[in-house]
Chain A
Amino acid sequence: MPDYSWPTAENRSLIGKRISRVDSPVKVSGQAKYSYDYHGSDMLFGKILRSPYAKAKIISIDTSAAEKMPGVKAVEIIQKPGATIHWEGDEVVGVAAVDEPTAEDAIRLITVKYQKLSHLVSDAEPPAGTGEAQGPLSMDDIDDLLDNQVPNQQIVSQIQQYGITSKADESTLKELKTDGATDAILDAIRNAAVHSEAAGREHANYQRAAVVTQGDPDKAFSEADAISESAYGTPVITHCCLESHGSTAEWPDKDHLFVHISTQNVSGIPAQMAQPLEVPAANIRIHQDHVGGGFGSKFAADRWDITAARLSQKAGGRPVRLMLERDSELKVAGARPSAYARVKVGAKKDGMLVAWQSQSWGTGGPGGGGMPPMPYIFAIPNQRKEHTAIRNNIGPARAWRAPTHPQAAVITMGALDDLAAKLNMDPLDLWRKNIEITGPRRDVYREELGIAAELMGWKDKWRPRGQNVSGNIARGLGLSIHTWGGRGHESHCDFSIHPDGSVDIKMGSQDIGTGTRTTIVIVAAETLGLPVEAINLYIGDTMYPPSGASGGSTTPGGVSSSTRRAAVDSREALFAKVAPALNAKPEELEAVSGTVRVKSDPNRSLSWKQACAKIGAVPITVRGNNPDKTKPPDLTNSGVGGVGMADVEVDTETGIVKVKKMVAVQDCGLIIDLKLAESSCYGAMIMGISYALFEEKVMDQASGRMLNPNMQFYRLAGLNDIPELVVHMMTGKGYDERGVIGLGEPPVISPGAAISNAVANAIGVRVSFLPLTPDRVLGALGQKAGA
């Protein structure tokens, strides 16, 4: 069997080097075509009428005037009278017209009557005693969960955990299926415990999860030498993808749908559109060249994508472009759940952690919101945790880069940092003291903390809290650690070497800006001994073999593994064809520096082109797969550790925080492209500065509306809000041999926690909740002065 394993360091000419992003030239020159840029011939423009209310019942819809309007080609009612709206901006009616202004005018001609219902958009701490225990689900509840776009996995686990209120017959199940329930959900319902006594009850906004206890927290607190108590948290933030969500749909004939969609999940979209549109997934083609950001919010075929397809169907198949406006993008196309907690944490005087207690709450919109994994990383032996999910009307949550981890880090690392201050300890020492309870990556953290401290100049710069003040400027340092999985996803590709020497790879993957294209061509080029330019790569289409969604840092491991196996197999097939000409056995050959040659006698060699001429008339084409147990070894792995450190400056008169320097130290197994790996970390730190200091979805309780659905008041950090950034990637022995692991999520986890801790170190008091805005910083300073 060929050796599929990654080449060793001395045998790599491309892997692990700093190689420029292969699609940079088309991006910097404006030639890269995004789904938003696709312009079908005779294209129509879609617009959606959205609910102005956060909660309301639709009483009536009159589209007659819009339908009569010249230039309007299709009108589609998305939610019918009787339906309940659960958030402002929810879709009600779609229109397609010959141009955008006409579509807008048509929307204004539609009359919808609503019955307003009372809403909740706040995620403030639940009033004491208001929580209702989460109980069994009715079929209506499940319908609501589907409506509210709660992730399938979450629905399944709720059904499994809490059961259902009545047995569902097959016709009910069929109805749920048309509402979007997956087979996994239907199976969960079939197998769920039935609690008929709970039928018919109304849901409260606040739902208490069962208390989780481990060890004996009361005893441990009573024996602790130091206890710190405070509150921590992060608000709901949005994804704010610069390319908004949406698609252009067209029907080349009545049985076939062709969709240009902005997605992180090319191969997964047809199955999602098939059910609601009642067309076989096989008849749905998806295409996307480039995507302008996703960050976890673009896995689904959304309601508006289905609407675009229906509008196109009604308009005789003409392409309908339906891309979200910026305000809708921020209101409905994704939000990261909030998480807040009152935490009590105890330690021995040497800093050894002994007890954790948290009362947490947060919202993920109408679906509630789970408890982040707390305490994060540190397996404190004695714990008591209570969580209340807030089901409110702010719009649906979606996975946001490293789901639940940044929230868990802010809460946990903040609590430990406060405890270190209470113990008069340098937090770096407290982290090190407890490194043994950080799990399987403990040695990595130990090494990384040392490197990060060195790069930050921690030992020289660190001062106890509030003791690095000059006039109105307070300086401070903070740190955090983080972890993530990142195992490669399922990925398939077709890999061809042609008789003329050209090489192509076809894979139904997508490059969301993380460098997927570059990763694939580097692996292929390395394996064949060719330059990266020699590889023709085709991705972003369901005409190609399927590859997983780009989420959870699963793409690099997946695509590099399937590519490697295919490249090795095709190379072996080429060797078999070439061997006779070189008078050697296939296993004696190697492909190096654009030649195929005999390992032991490099002078017996053919140029790549000459070698490929031996292929014959039919190109070599092989399928590469991941995972593939028949072709060991496993080329990907899971579980990384990273450290983030921040150095900040706080103007104590204005409460304005400026980050002065940040350090990221990260492992991710075998690095394919060091330049892009570093870019991922730089980008993550920048995104971290942005959510630590500026970002917040601001909801108004009186109107139920999001007040900052724009880029004026939904603030993103700008170029000059970014300080000196230092990245160190862990490579070499102990790292490379683990195989390829994804990197998208991990480095974005620590920045918020590290910056929050640095601010506390600077001003001597905790600012409980992100973002660290002047009002909050001044508020904390005021409390400190008053204390």
Chain B
Amino acid sequence: MQDDPKKPAEESPGVSRRDFLKISSISAVAVPLLGTKVVEAAGVPVKVYGPGKVPVELTVNGKKHSLQLEPRVTLLDALRDDLEITGAKRVCDRGECGACTVLMDNKTVYACSVLAIEAQGKAIATVEALMQGEKLHPVQQAFVDNDGSQCGFCTPGFVVASKALLDKHPNPTPDEIRRGLSGNFCRCGTYHGIQQAIAQMAQRGV
């Protein structure tokens, strides 16, 4: 066992002759652990990142973070393992369950199915951002009032999805609720409480 991993390769300040790798280079079998390189594509230099660690800048809950990540790292793993923001949960890791739901530019996405590198320049908001100081967001309070959680592992995803639903449809119809919350699953069976929470919010007209 040798010493620690892939150090990120230096980002080349300019484009040198040597750095111009031809497009065919991707067929090479051995994948060297490179950082950023520049290749010529359609006559112009285009940056190609990785496969080793490269600088990735994420804006999460209003705060900028500079990380060194391989392109294959998902937004979810970057949040959880690199930033230790753990509200979004890793459950299916395939975009099937909703436990990792976060807002990206105000739209719900499955953080497990977005690469951290492609989330750069987007505003990421996790469940942690919903609190208003020490106070729960009204959606969160509605979940508490109506017992919308048991083990709680799906809850952050549901809270984020519910907030997005109510932002789009303050008074959702049953069909809007059906479509709006169809992408989140719970194992303990908290749907009854969540339905009541949504109903409480709808009455409130938030």
Contacts and interface: CB of A to CB of B under 8 A. Distances in A.
Query: Do any beta carbons of A and B sit within 8 angstroms of each other in the complex?
Result: yes
Interface of A: 20-21, 23-25, 27-34, 36-37, 39, 67-73, 98-102, 240-244, 290-293, 295, 325-326, 512-515, 675-676, 679, 682-687, 690, 710-712, 716-720, 722, 725
Contacts of A326: 91-94
Interface stretch (B9-17, B19-27, B143-151): B143-151
A292 B152 contact: yes
Given A27-B149, A30-B156, A37-B86, A242 B177 contact: no
Given A29-B136, A716-B185, A292 B153 contact: yes
Contact of A719 (B84, B147, B191): B191
A99 to B, nearest CB: 7
A39 B84 contact: yes
Residue with the greatest number of chain A CB neighbours at <10 A, chosen from B4, B92, B145, B187? B187
Given A291-B151, A293-B151, A514-B150, A73 B1 contact: yes
Interface string B78-89: 001100101111
Contact of B92 (A36, A67, A711): A711
Interface in B127-169: 127-128, 130-131, 136, 140-141, 143-145, 147-156, 159
Contacts of A73: 1
A675 B150 CA distance: 12
Contact of A34 (B145, B153, B159, B191): B153
The 10 closest A-B CB pairs, nearest first, are A30-B87, A292-B153, A513-B151, A686-B189, A683-B189, A27-B152, A513-B150, A71-B5, A30-B127, A37-B86
Contacts of A72: 1
A684 B150 CA distance: 11
B103 interface: no
A687 B3 contact: no
Contacts of A725: 192
Given A30-B126, A292-B153, A512-B151, A682 B192 contact: yes
Contact of B185 (A32, A241, A711): A711
Given A242-B97, A686-B191, A711-B96, A719 B6 contact: no
Given A21-B149, A32-B152, A243 B89 contact: yes
A309 B43 CA distance: 54
A343 to B, nearest CB: 29
24 contacts: A24-B143, A25-B136, A27-B152, A28-B144, A28-B148, A28-B155, A30-B156, A36-B90, A71-B5, A72-B1, A100-B77, A101-B73, A102-B5, A242-B185, A243-B89, A292-B89, A293-B151, A326-B92, A679-B193, A683-B188, A686-B186, A716-B186, A719-B195, A720-B181
A639 B3 CA distance: 60
Interface residues of B, number: 63
B190 interface: yes
A295 B88 CA distance: 22
B178 interface: yes
Nearest to B131: A29
Contacts of A690: 189
Nearest to B70: A101
A686 B184 CA distance: 14
B86 A242 contact: no
B117 interface: no
B122 interface: no
Contacts of A711: 91-92, 94, 96-97, 185
A25 B135 CA distance: 10
B94 A676 contact: no
A683 B96 contact: no
A44 to B, nearest CB: 11
Contact of B151 (A70, A243, A676): A243
A722 B177 CA distance: 12
B65 interface: no
B99 interface: yes
A631 B66 CA distance: 60
Contacts of B186: 242, 686, 716, 719
A243 B86 CA distance: 13
A580 B153 CA distance: 50
Given A718-B182, A720-B182, A68 B1 contact: yes
